[in-house]
Structure formats: structure tokens, C-alpha cells
Amino acid sequence: MKPEKIRKMVFRSSVVITALCGLYFFNIGKPQPVVNDKEALILQGLMQTIEYVHFAPKPIDDEFSKTIYKTYLERIDGGKRFFTQKDIEQLKKYETQIDNQVSARTFEFFNASLPMLENGIKKSEKFFNEIIDIPMNFNKGESIETDSEKRLYPKNDDDLKDQWKHSIQFEIMSRWLQSIDDQKDKGNKEGNKSEEDLKQEVVKEIKKRYVDYFSRLNKLRRSDRMEIYLGTITNYFDPHTDYFSPKEKQDFDINMGGKLEGIGARLQSEGDYTKVFSIVVGGPAWKTKKLDENDIIMKVAQKGQEAVDIAGMRVDDVVQMVRGKKGTTVILTVKKKDNSIVDIAIERDEVQLEDSKAKSVLLNIPGKIQNIGYINLPKFYSSFESDGGNSCAIDVAEEIKKLKSQNVNGIILDLRNNSGGSLNDVVDMSGLFIEEGPIVQVKGREDKPFLHMDKDKSVLYDGPLVIMVNQFSASASEIIAAAMQDYNRAIIVGSSTSTFGKGTVQRFYDLDRGIRGYDEFKPLGNVKMTVQKFYRVNGGSTQLKGVIPDVVLPDTYHFIATGEKEYENPLAWTEIAPVPYYQNVVKLDNKDKLVSNSNGRVAQSNVFKLIMESAAKIKENRDQTKFPLKLNDYRAMVNKKEEESKKYESLFKNEISGLEVKNLSSDLTKINMDESNKARNDEFLKDLKKDIYLEETLFIIKDMINLEKSFVSLQKKIVE
């Protein structure tokens, strides 16, 4: 496809967006009720924007009220550390009144919650200071429930204090035991500290962290709490509709908009802590292979300094701590999906954007399959996102041309962990594999579906195609996977039961522009609004369901629920009328046999068996939320878990026997241009050689060639 065509499509899409925005401003510009303060004006702007442009606005009724009541209390005291049942009983009267207050642009529930929250924080701070200095008995047979959702609010202040006591005891005990084990792992050396000394160090560390924690909580402003409340209201309509204060919007543009930070990770708030929203491919965090999306950051330390507990800290403050000069090291204490807590040291560096671009290699397993092309695409970057005018559709087309010049027998397009990006590019990229036709439907709440078409009759690649996805393949990744699946053009291989399931489109709306007048209250902030849904050409949405792979391979998080469906208030799966679609490039008539063959290999694979065992163990560990407070019982439990985990230590660390991964000769000059390019390439090749999923995908593409009539000419070429 020609670059001119892609740029025309970008322009056409921008015209549609402009028309939608114009409608929004026209409606919001209608005469509005008089409001007397900034908070009420912001709320008015939010609710009117939702009413006019949200994809699926909901009634403002008692159901709305009950949900806001529950969610807001969870967000300001998710750990049930501050409120007692007595406090909750006082707030209970507002449970079905919030809808009326929102309609009247008033804040009675919010206002009532603030002094109670402040009082609860002060009480808890007092309890902590009393408890931390009292020697604890670690020989009692009590236990603690660490999942706040399984606990009731403490009955009264005495019960709240007991809860704090158990929580502090558990934290001291678990960290003390870890310190003892860490010292043993280092070997017996002169100067080793006694267990009592190690315990006192842990107590000192915990005391400092909580002093900092309460200090931050006490510094929170009314506006900080108001942002939480307004976010609770907007999230009721769907998890991606949200309010951004002027400063939050600025931080969003910096942290989420592709401007790279010291470790190459984008962060967002998650309750008391900060969550890893995404990881920049090729960045320092990505290179460690230890930090993952959705990890919860609990502490941040500069190398050689004490760790700082970030509970209650604003995300922009956390970002400032994580940032730093190239060559310096930051240590993150993170909570993983399986509830394990690990320290990850990351050396800060400049993030190389080149690693986000499409790149290809040649794959061989001598005696089994040869000369298969592999294209890795970390994101759907678009032509207007970079100064060089790069487009992933153009770049993937170039990689395909290079692979075709090597007479490859098939191509694997790897979209694992690809969170999406440019809609126009995914449409053009899909067109590389079919003659012409519809790729995806996009529909607003009132609009007729807008059909994004590939209108280029040429086919760049007509050979065997497999697309690899996982639970973190989202948005644009799901569009191309769905289109190629519907067209029966490619086999979709996933290391999860479905892709992420985000089938919605969001846009920012500036409340200052939407509301006329009231200049004395501006700036008001922005609202990020869900305005459209994606639909497959077969009429089904990718929302919630994602794309179900043709072949599902076991994954260590196989039993852990992930994706859009795990968010609160996600939009429902829906369907619209299908559109006619047809391709005459490739006919895949033996999918069932391909799946059966793969299932047979997986069933016989000791590695995949071990992966499933590990997945079950991870699920078991995650589900365990109750722990003993008796030191010997806790030590026995930890030792048992550590012993069990040794069985899985080698997973994904060994190279696949016989798998050869080679760069294309045309890429070597650029790769060898400097040491950093070479180092990144070496790391890339090393990871591919350990990829058990890639090995199985090679066998799948081999079966595709052998079984499908479309590839008769290749059947004698794939094995040496």
C-alpha cells in the first residue's frame, strides 16, 4: 500500500472526529442552570458530556446511587483501615440519595465523608504509634485475612485497633523472616546480625514507612478527594470514562502519551498504590523481563538509600521518584499477580523508540521446518506519531517484502502484548493479506456503523499466515486478529483463552470549551469519554469477549482472570448486522485438524505440562489470603511454597532445542551500526530462542502447509 493512501485515511478519520466534537460543543452550549462554585460546574460539565456523547449513558437512579456509594467508600478506604461499622451506619442514609444530589449538582454525601475519613486516619495513626513500639508475641495461633473484600468493617474503635495490631504483626513477621532468609542465602560471614537485630531493623523500617504514609494522607487536599469522587461517578458508565483535573491531564499527556520516562514504564493510580499501566518495549523495565503490566508498586528506593512506602502517594509524585538520570538505579518493590512481593532493580536509561518498531527474522528447526519469516510488532504506531512519518502498516509491508525476497515458506505475525494504537494502520495492514473488503465496523450510540475498508485490490502476501496473541493483545491487535479469523485467512494462536477484550473508543473533551462563560472557575479539566465501539465484520463486538484464538496454548496465568471483563462496569458485548466479506487468496479447510494436532503435541509436552502445573499453583497462591500469625506456622508455610516453586524455576529459561533464529542480511548493517543496537538485537534473538510458544507455532504453520491445498507448492520446501 502506498503511503499517500494511508495519510488520506488518517485525514478522513480526523474529519469524522471533528464532526463529533462539534456536535458535543453545540449541545453543551445550550443554556445551563446557574451554579455557584467550581465543583458544581465541573460536575455539570461531566454529566452533560456523558448525557450527550457517551456510547451508553445510564439512568441517574437509585442503582447509580448505590454503586457510587459502594465504589467511593472502597476507593477512599479499600483496606478498611479507617472506617468502622459505626461510621458506615452514619453514611448509610446517603446510599440512595446520591443520584438526587448529582442531579442537583450538590455534594452532601461527599461532604459528610470527609471529616469522618480524616477522623479515621487520625485514629489509625494513633493506634499505629501505640502498637509499633510494643513487643509482639509471635507464638500465638491467630491468623489474619489479607483480602479486605472478605473482611467486614471493624465493629468499633477497639476492633479497629485489633485489626491494626494484627496487620502490623503480620508485616513485621513476614519481613523479619525474609531478612533472616536473605542473610542465610548470602552465606555465613563475619558480622552477620542476630535474628533479634534483624527484627529491630524491620520494625524501624516499617515505622518510618508508616510515618511517611500518614504524613502523605494528612497532606491530601479536598481537591484530591474530589477527583476520586468525580472519577467514581464517571467510571460508573464504563471503566475508561474518567475525569482528569488540569494537572492530571498534563500528567497523562506526559506519562501515558508516549513520552518516555527513566525506566520506560507508564504508571497509573490503583487504590492506595500505583499500578504499572504499560511497559515501553525496548526500555530498561522491559529489558529486565521482571516488571509486568498490572504489577502494583508498593515501595520505591534509590540505590543505596532506604525504600519509601508509596501508599497514599499521588501518581505524579511516584513518577518523580521513579524518574532519574541515565545510569542510576531505582529499586521497585512490587506485588505480582500471584500476590508474591519482589524487589526489582532497574538501571535508568534513555528509551530507544526503535525497539517499538516492526522487525523481522528467519526461523528454522533443522529436520523439521525451515525458512519461516517472523515479524514482531510491539504496538500499532501511526504515521502522525513520529517525526519521521513512520507507520506500522508501511513498516510491516517493508518487512514482508524483505521476507519474500528470502523466499520464506510462511510468516508469523507476533502481536503478543500489543495494546493497540492506530486504527487506520490496522486497516491498511489487514489489507496486505486480502484483495479488498471491510476490516472493521465502528459505531457510536446513534450513528449507523462506519465501515473501515481496505480498497486496495493488490495482495502483498498470499502465503501461510499465523498471528500470535495473548491476554494483553488489545484494541487494534484484536481488530486484525478478528478480521483475519473472520476471513479465514490466518490461524490465530493464543497463549490465553482470549485477547484483552477492549472494543471501545475514547476521546478527550475539554470542559472549558464545552461550557460557555464561568471564566472565573476555569480551567475545569477534561473528561475522557467512551464514544464508540468496534465490531467485527461478522457483526460481533470484540468488547469483553476479545478474540478467541483458534489454538489456545497453556500459560502460567491460565487460571487467572484478566482483561476488560475484570474491570468494574465494563460495557456489554453486543452485536450488529454483519457485512458481506470474502477473500479468494487462501482457503483454510482444515482448522479442526490443525487444532487437534496442536492439542496432541501440547498434551505430550513436558514443558507445557509444567506450565499448567505452575498455573494451578499460581492460582492457588493467589486465592490464599488468610495467613497464620504464629511465626513457626508461617515459616513452615513459606518454606513449603519455596520448595514447591523450585520445580518451576527453569520455565522459559532454556533455549529450545534446534531452534535457529537469524537476522536478515539486509538488517545487519543497521544492527551493527553501534553497540546499543547490537545489544538490543542480541537480547531479542536470545528471548526468541527460549520461546516455547514460538516453537509450537512453527509446528502449526508446518501443519497448515502440509494440510491445506492452498499451499501445495510449499509442501516439499518446508523440511530440509
| pLDDT confidence of residue 611 | 96
Residue 35's pLDDT band, with cuts at 50, 70 and 90, is low
pTM of the model: 0.82
**Out of 371-385, 577-591, 613-627, 634-648, least confident range:** 371-385
Share of the chain above pLDDT 90, in %: 67
Distance of CA 645 to the CA centre of its chain: 26
Contact 608, 602 (CB under 8 A): yes
- The most distant pair of C-alpha atoms in the chain lies apart, rounded to whole Å, by 79
| pLDDT confidence of residue 389 | 52
Q: Give the residue from 426, 405, 563 showing the smallest Cα distance to 413.
A: 426
Task: Please write the tens of the pLDDT for every residue from 126-177.
Answer: 999 999 989 888 988 889 999 999 999 999 999 999 999 999 999 999 999 9
| pLDDT confidence of residue 216 | 86
Average pLDDT (201-220) is 90
- Please name the residue that has the C-alpha cell 453514611: 91
Q: Give the residue from 91, 80, 639, 705 showing the smallest Cα distance to 371.
A: 705
Whether residue 3 has pLDDT greater than 80: no
Whether residue 574 has pLDDT greater than 60: yes
Task: Please write the tens of the pLDDT for every residue from 296-340.
Answer: 999 999 988 888 888 878 777 788 888 888 889 999 999 887 778
Superfamily of domain 366-652+691-714: 2-enoyl-CoA Hydratase; Chain A, domain 1 (3.90.226.10)
* Single-letter amino acid code for the residue at 293: E
| pLDDT confidence of residue 720 | 52
Q: Which residue has the higher pLDDT, 714 or 666?
A: 666
**C-alpha–C-alpha distance, residues 264 and 345, integer Å:** 13
The CATH number of 242-347, from 3.90.1150.10, 3.30.565.10, 2.30.42.10, 1.25.40.10, is: 2.30.42.10
Task: Please write the tens of the pLDDT for every residue from 533-555.
Answer: 999 999 999 999 999 999 999 99
Distance of CA 203 to the CA centre of its chain: 34
Contact 676, 428 (CB under 8 A): no
Residues 6+ apart with CB under 8 A from 119: none
| pLDDT confidence of residue 383 | 56
Q: Where are the domains of the chain?
A: 58-235, 242-347, 366-652+691-714
Question: If you average pLDDT over every residue of the chain, what do you get?
Answer: 88
**Out of 255-259, 442-446, 668-672, least confident range:** 255-259
Instruction: Answer left, alpha or beta for residue 516, where phi above 0 means left and psi between -120 and 50 means alpha.
Output: beta
Whether residue 399 has pLDDT greater than 90: yes
Contact 501, 545 (CB under 8 A): yes
Average pLDDT (29-39) is 62
Average pLDDT (173-195) is 82
**C-alpha–C-alpha distance, residues 588 and 705, integer Å:** 10
| pLDDT confidence of residue 188 | 64
**C-alpha–C-alpha distance, residues 709 and 705, integer Å:** 8
* E strands present in 119-272: 143-145, 242-244, 265-270
**Out of 118-122, 146-150, 200-204, 243-247, least confident range:** 243-247
Average pLDDT (451-464) is 95
Whether residue 12 has pLDDT greater than 70: no
| pLDDT confidence of residue 679 | 82
| pLDDT confidence of residue 351 | 66
Residue 256's pLDDT band, with cuts at 50, 70 and 90, is very low
Whether residue 246 has pLDDT greater than 90: no
Average pLDDT (107-119) is 97
| CA angle, residues 392, 398, 400, in degrees to nearest 5 | 100
| pLDDT confidence of residue 350 | 73
| pLDDT confidence of residue 279 | 79
Average pLDDT (512-531) is 90
Q: Which residue has the higher pLDDT, 357 or 15?
A: 357
Helix residue ranges per DSSP H, 307-438: 315-322, 392-405, 423-430
The dihedral of CA 589, 592, 596, 599: what is its sign? positive
Cell of 192: 552477620
Instruction: Answer left, alpha or beta for residue 417, where phi above 0 means left and psi between -120 and 50 means alpha.
Output: left
Whether residue 74 has pLDDT greater than 90: yes
The dihedral of CA 703, 706, 707, 713: what is its sign? positive
Cell of 587: 482457503
DSSP-derived 3-state class of residue 361: strand
Cis peptide before 246 (omega within 30 of 0): no
Helix residue ranges per DSSP H, 29-144: 38-53, 62-76, 85-91, 98-104, 108-132
Please state whether beta strands 265-270 and 242-244 pair in parallel, antiparallel, or not at all (unpaired). unpaired
